[in-house]
Amino acid sequence: MSAKEHIRVAVIGVGGIARGQHIPGYLFCNDRAQGVGGPTVEIAAFCDVNETSLQAMGAQHGISRLTTDYCEVMAMEDIDIVSICTWPDTHHQIAMAAIAAGKHIYCEKPLARTYPLAQEMCDAAHRAGVKTAVGFTHRLTPAAQLAHRLITGGSLGEIYQMMAIYSMGGVDFAERALTPRRTRAVTGGGPLFELGPHMVDMVRWWTGQEITAVCAQNRTYIKRRRWQDREDWADVDIEDASTFLANLEGDTTCVFSHSSVITGRNFDQRVEVYGSRGALLYDQARPFELRACLGEEMVRLCASYGLYDPLWGLYRQEEPYPVIPVPREFVDAVPGARQGKPCRSYAPALVAALHGETPEILPTFEDGARAQEVLDAVLLSAEERRWVDLPLDSQST
């Protein structure tokens, strides 16, 4: 397939994730083309089941090809890429139709509701030779990129232990109404499926290791909720919190925690990594810095912060490691950062892949399927109260 100089995109689902990440990412491609070359990109069609939102987005962006039926998008022969920004229960059917039509795909996470569906999407895309991307946008956080460089470069030595948290909290949790978006039939799970894919991907990306076994505990604290805009109530079938221990290839272990009930914390994403030669602390709330201790002398200095003092007792400084500012190269890797309009989007990377480049940071359907496999294993482990080994059987889970 020869590289095209002008690429046309259709966005399916024009909600918040499309408006905040996918569409700005495609628009940035034209700025990139003017600066360093490459193909130009045209957003040529929108699709959404909400006619009002569809018409509003069409008017805002000057797009006349509007449809509520994604099958009509697949019949548009000039469309090269489809962005799938719909609810998770529709990802599989839309992606399979796009693959059959020979279109490249940028799909939101989780890739599908179950691992067998995700693996089917991955296999089909591979057979068809279409390029893929998955919305694991936190790889783009500058501090996450620096952590990846340090870990893969061996600065921390052999990785022993990790702790990965991505949770959220707020007010009135117990009083929230039930919506289709908060059911297993639509989403696949609760915070495990909403937040967990990001951290499973982050750990895999940083370490280059696959997860080989999990042991999980899930909790649903509010057992029944009232349906939104209705008087009837229903049982809640997704978890409010999920914690699991994971074994990785080699001897690395990681504790994952994903929750909707970390009261008063809003979104909280942090990772701690401890290795034979050093350690680092990542906090998404501080995207332009890491805390790290690297090398024997620094490890000795940092370790002294936790010594027992006969006068003062056990003491530890609030932040045990010094700050490492993120180099500019990782900031500039975020689309639009140099222009003062950063956008966490893989649209430019996917377009570059269509033009023959191989962006190392780009997560593909393979990454999405591997993350989904871990999520399914966590559900199985929690339900059966046992360790679950990976890989799973993609035909039977």
pLDDT band at 1 (very low <50, low <70, confident <90, very high): very low
What is the helix (H) or strand (E) element at residue 11, kind and residue range? strand 6-12
Q: What is the Cα 362 distance to its own chain's centre? A: 11
How many whole angstroms separate alpha carbon 249 and alpha carbon 263? 34
When pLDDT is averaged across residues 108-135 and rounded to a whole number, the result is 98
Tokens coding 110: 């989780």
How many whole angstroms separate alpha carbon 385 and alpha carbon 300? 40
Q: With pLDDT > 70 as the criterion, what percentage of the chain qualifies?
A: 93
Go through the domains of the chain in sequence order and give each one's CATH number: 6-135+346-363 (3.40.50.720), 141-331+371-384 (3.30.360.10)
Kindly report, residue by residue over 15-72, the tens digit of the pLDDT: 999 999 999 999 999 876 555 667 899 999 999 999 999 999 999 999 999 999 999 9
pLDDT band at 310 (very low <50, low <70, confident <90, very high): low
- Supply the pLDDT for residue 393: 87
- Supply the pLDDT for residue 172: 87
pLDDT band at 340 (very low <50, low <70, confident <90, very high): confident
Kindly report, residue by residue over 138-184, the tens digit of the pLDDT: 999 999 999 999 999 999 999 999 999 999 998 889 999 999 999 99
pTM (2 decimals)? 0.94
- Supply the pLDDT for residue 137: 97
Q: With pLDDT > 90 as the criterion, what percentage of the chain qualifies?
A: 84
Angle at 173 between CA 171 and CA 179, to 5 degrees: 125
- Do the beta carbons of residue 346 and residue 133 sit within 8 Å? yes
- Supply the pLDDT for residue 397: 52
Question: For the CA atoms of the chain, what is the radius of gyration?
Answer: 22
Kindly report, residue by residue over 196-243, the tens digit of the pLDDT: 999 999 999 999 999 999 999 999 999 999 999 999 999 999 999 999
Closest CA to 147 of 8, 286, 28: 286
Query: For the chain, what is the mean pLDDT?
Result: 93
Range of lowest pLDDT (49-53, 313-317, 327-331): 313-317
Kindly report, residue by residue over 342-395, the tens digit of the pLDDT: 999 999 999 999 999 999 999 999 999 999 999 999 999 999 999 999 999 877
- Do the beta carbons of residue 161 and residue 274 sit within 8 Å? yes
Kindly report, residue by residue over 253-266, the tens digit of the pLDDT: 999 999 999 988 88
Classify each residue of 144-168 as buried b or exposed e, where b means 16 or more C-beta atoms within 10 Å of its C-beta. bbbbbebbeeebbeebeebebbbbb
- Supply the pLDDT for residue 297: 87
Closest CA to 273 of 390, 371, 165, 136: 165
Kindly report, residue by residue over 81-102, the tens digit of the pLDDT: 999 999 999 999 999 999 999 9
